[in-house]
Amino acid sequence: MAVRNSLSGQLLRRSSVVAGARFMSSWFRSIEPAPKDPILGVTEAFLADQSPNKVNIGVGAYRDDNGKPVVLECVREAERRIAGSQFMEYLPIGGSIKMVEESLKLAYGENSEFIKDKRIGAVQALSGTGACRLFAAFQHRFHPNSQIYIPVPTWANHHNIWRDAGVPMKTFRYYHPETRGLDFSGLMEDIKNAPDGSFFLLHACAHNPTGVDPSEEQWREISSLIKIKGHFPFFDMAYQGFASGDPERDAKAIRIFLEDGHLIGLAQSYAKNMGLYGQRVGCLSVLCEDEKQAVAVKSQLQLLARPMYSNPPVHGALIVSTVLGDPKLKNLWLKEVKVMADRIIGMRATLRENLEKLGSPLPWQHITNQIGMFCYSGLTPEQVDRMTNEFHIYMTRNGRISMAGLNTGNVGYVANAIHEVTKSA
Amino acid sequence: MASSVLSIATQCVSPNASSLSINETHKGKAKLGGSTLRFSKSSGRISMTVAVNVSRFEGIPMAPPDPILGVSEAFRADTNDVKLNLGVGAYRTEELQPYVLNVVKKAENLMLERGDNKEYLPIEGLAAFNKATAELLLGADNPAIKEQRVATVQGLSGTGSLRLGAALIERYFPGSKVLISAPTWGNHKNIFNDARVPWSEYRYYDPRTVGLDFEGMIEDIKAAPEGTFVLLHGCAHNPTGIDPTPEQWEKIADVIQQKNHIPFFDVAYQGFASGSLDEDAASVRLFVARGMEVLVAQSYSKNLGLYAERIGAMNVISSSSESATRVKSQLKRLARPMYSNPPVHGARIVANVVGTPILFDEWKAEMEMMAGRIKNVRQKLYDSISSKDKSGKDWSFILKQIGMFSYTGLNKNQSDNMTNKWHVYMTKDGRISLAGLSLAKCEYLADAIIDSYHNVS
């Protein structure tokens, strides 16, 4: 048997020779420091702050009324069931089949004909980000000359995702600053003016960052117009169940589009509604004309995923399929997600009440009109900076407030701070 | 064109079909543009069915099955009792069962008891993991770590970490190429292709000796334009199992330094090759000790059996801490639009195992056991083949190769014979995964190899 000289032994002898070796000049000199991520950088800054009064209403992660992160009971139970019993062998490239099945039922409907007819090409994805990125890469590969229309504003990372996938972006009007509501006529005009067959990114519910959603009637009109124009609707659904407390209700926009015969794309995330943030579990689906096409599309999604990460992580997927696959656990989940949504709805009401009681001259009904985790407060970047510098309240500079970061203990303090920075506005 | 519209039209005539509400009040059929419109009543209002529903992805072809993962699929479909799966590189026990390491079970139980939350990790991953992984790779007292010259970002196992490195190259070294070994792990090419980084090959495997074509390797590295990234397997080369000797590593480092190339290590088997974590990291440490700037992708899929948790890291060892800070910030910027932040579960397991001395020691013992089983299997296979094969062919390469895989030297036809006649599943390049072989099956495999080698061309 060949004897290998210990390389580490030789290394010891050699290292005394190279001690004090001149480093050649760095290959990385031209690499500039990247700017802080506008959203995740907020949490970094918050963590570094020593003030006892500090409040984090930056990142969209749910907190309970004590400001603590929550692991859902249904999730804990699922984890107990799966602990130690699994061999951690690679999932298929497309991920957990069970988890994907359950995800499709949740989004498309328990008895969806599209599921029965196997018309949906779907894979497990790295939460919402990964699902969007996979779709963007897919769009780039098969429609290399296409662009993506994104709402103004949208989640900051949407820009990064499509840009890094090589797909140019265009915008459509969405938020109306004057009313702090939806610019519906602007939206419809922009949909109409886009060239036929454009790709549109839509937030299925609980628009991030504004919290402003179209009404059901408005969704129907949007669907009609998109149909006439032959556009491709891509939905980002990161808050199903989290917006109204009812997953069926939160999927309404999607169901309208499906009824109207659109062949949609959909990114789903379990980060918020199942509290599985760090597990990175989600699903990307593309509704096709028939089963054959769905199989082909899935195979191509897999071909894109393989050189990105080979196959997706198992742990979060097992939790999701365990919870959704067991009627009792699923019911528990439905209750727990409603509790989270209700607490947020309650905080909206409280924040608004407090501001009105303080005698703020500005209108605040948008706080309760908007829905989901975020509220577009209308604060300017300068006012946001004051919130941070004077009051140690952390939020993103676009004025977005994460309602989940508010609780009965700090809502008064935050209302007061908002009042202070806006009263002379 | 017309026929596709027609076929779509027939598909759309379901009772709950697509409906558009418009202000028309006509009944019956009408033509609008090139599409046929049908009118139907739907919940009280007059609505129209637009029979244009062609998918945007109609022309999408079916992708071929993955050359490695497809082998296991074929194996599962085989009903023959003697079948043997030597395809994918996943460790199996002597009983040919998957293996969850004891330390992993212990770590998971600890985590369960502690009731850790599931919050987002930072983009760069779990700090405790990043610290542990860099120390494992370089040694805790490595000057590069002490001087904070190591930028570490948690990645999605080896693949994800390689992809981050590739993306960094594409963005900041436009026009730079990567040199990869011939052969190399199949997915390397996909990763660089999709990241739009051009690559070419350096000679590596010598079929005549079933060993390393060292002269060819050095020549090709020398011939590459200055500033090329050279992809090196830290230990246990995949697919060949052929590693350079310590002396050869020195010479490789020499020529890379001379040509001002950048070494890019793929370390997927640290601990798994020789059984010693330190020994298997020696090649990387050699390059770092010479003061070179190095990229290193790590994976815990095999050595901690955490395959499906997708846990690994991209490390960039650079010449200053200031540079490392900048590089890390850009790695994060590349990761954010890929997946935002990495999965937490596997990272916690690794951090717990490596960070808890008693678990770390237990891990080292389990690693030695796994690597030891593979060494035993190599020996048994070699003994079986040498005693059965009277042709005088030198089979000692089986013993010289290291790690999970062995390049048998069988060509495609011979590999097919292995599968078709002997129900031995392997990849078409002649690679067998010894991790899927038991002592009990060595004799059978020896027969199969001898038959395929001598009787099939």
Contact yes or no for B18 and A2 at CB 8 A: no
B332 is catalytic: no
Task: Domain B120-355: give its CATH code.
Answer: 3.40.640.10
**Which pLDDT belongs to residue A219?**
98
- The contacts of residue A391 (CB under 8 Å, 6+ apart) are A53, A55, A413, A417, A420
Is the predicted pLDDT of residue A74 greater than 60, yes or no?
yes
**Contact check, Cβ <8 Å, A280/B100:** no
When CB atoms are compared, the residue of B17, B333, B343 closest to A279 is: B343
Q: What is the mean pLDDT of residues B160-181?
A: 96
Overall average pLDDT of the A226-239 stretch: 97
Categorize the per-residue pLDDT at A39 as very low, low, confident or very high, splitting at 50, 70 and 90: confident
- Tell me the nearest-neighbour CA distance from A129 into chain B, angstroms: 5
pLDDT interval class at A424 (50, 70, 90): confident
Nearest to A314 among B60, B283, B308 (CB): B308
**Residues A280, B191: C-beta atoms closer than 8 Å:** no
Write out the two tokens for B151: 């930028």
Contact in structure between B144 and B135 (CB atoms under 8 Å): no
CATH for B67-99+368-455?
3.90.1150.10
Query: What pLDDT shows up at residue B139?
Result: 97
Residues A386-403 have a mean pLDDT of: 94
Q: Which segments of B156-293 are extended strands (E)? A: 178-182, 199-203, 205-206, 211-212, 229-233, 262-267
For the CA atoms of B321, B326, B330, B331, the dihedral, rounded to the nearest 10 degrees, stands at: 0
Residue B53 has pLDDT above 70, yes or no: no
Query: What average pLDDT does range B80-86 have in this prediction?
Result: 94
Q: How far is A267 from chain B (nearest CA, A)?
A: 13
Give the mean model confidence (pLDDT) for residues A346-360.
96
Please name the fold of domain A91-325.
Aspartate Aminotransferase; domain 2 (3.40.640)
Q: Which two tokens stand for residue B276?
A: 């010693």
Question: Tokens 């010891």 — which residue?
Answer: A12
pLDDT of B1 strictly over 70: no
Average pLDDT over residues A221-229: 97
Q: Is A309's CB within 8 Å of B54's CB?
A: no
Token code pair at residue B298: 């790590």
- Give mean pLDDT, residues B1-5: 34
Q: What is the structure's pLDDT at A85?
A: 61
**Reported pTM:** 0.87
Q: What is the pLDDT of residue A295?
A: 93
Average pLDDT over residues A307-330: 96
What is the sign, positive or negative, of the torsion defined by CA atoms of B180, B184, B190, B195?
Answer: negative
The pLDDT score that the predictor gives to residue B450 is: 97
All residues at 6 or more sequence positions from A323 whose CB lies less than 8 Å from its CB, including other chains: A74, A75, A78, A274, A329, A330, A332, A333
Find chain B residues with C-beta within 8 A of A231's C-beta: none
Q: Catalytic residue, from B213, B220, B266, B280: name it.
A: B266
Non-local (6+) Cβ contacts of A45 within 8 A are: A388, A394
Q: Taking residues B32-36, what's their average pLDDT?
A: 35
A162-186 tens-digit pLDDT: 999 999 999 999 999 999 999 999 9
User: How high is the pLDDT of residue A33?
Assistant: 80
Q: Is the pLDDT of residue A4 over 90?
A: no
Binning pLDDT at 50, 70 and 90, where does residue A262 land?
very high
Contact: A309, B246; criterion CB under 8 Å: no
Determine which of A8-12, A56-60, A139-143, A420-424 has the lowest per-residue pLDDT on average.
A8-12
pLDDT higher than threshold 50 for residue B39: no
The residue among B208 and A117 whose pLDDT is bigger is A117
pLDDT mean over B237-266: 96
Shortest distance, CA A136 to any CA of chain B (angstroms): 10
A392 pLDDT more than 60: yes
Residue ranges per domain, chain A?
39-70+341-423, 91-325
A236 is annotated as an active-site residue = yes
Chain segment A76-117, per-residue pLDDT in tens: 999 999 876 666 678 889 999 999 999 999 999 999 999 999
Which pLDDT score, from 0 to 100, does residue A26 have? 67
Chain-wide mean pLDDT for chain A?
A: 91
Q: What's the confidence (pLDDT) of residue B21? A: 33
A255 by Cβ neighbours in 10 Å (0-12 / 13-18 / 19+) ranks as middle
Of the candidate ranges A77-86, B28-37, B330-339, B397-406, the one whose mean pLDDT is the lowest: B28-37
Q: Six-digit token pair at A242?
A: 């989290």
Say which CATH class A39-70+341-423 falls into: alpha beta
Active site (annotated) includes residue B395 = no
The proportion of chain A whose per-residue pLDDT surpasses 90, expressed as a percent, equals: 82
The full set of domain ranges for chain B reads 67-99+368-455, 120-355
* List of chain B residues whose C-beta atoms are within 8 Å of the C-beta of residue A10: 246, 250
Q: Do the Cβ atoms of A27 and B18 come within 8 Å?
A: no
How much is the pLDDT for A14?
Answer: 36
Residue-wise DSSP of B368-409: HHHHHHHHHHHHHHHHHHHHH--S----THHHH--SSEEE--
How much is the pLDDT for A37? 78
A vs B, Cβ pairs < 8 A, gives: 311
Chain B hits for A86, CB-CB cut-off 8 Å, are: 100
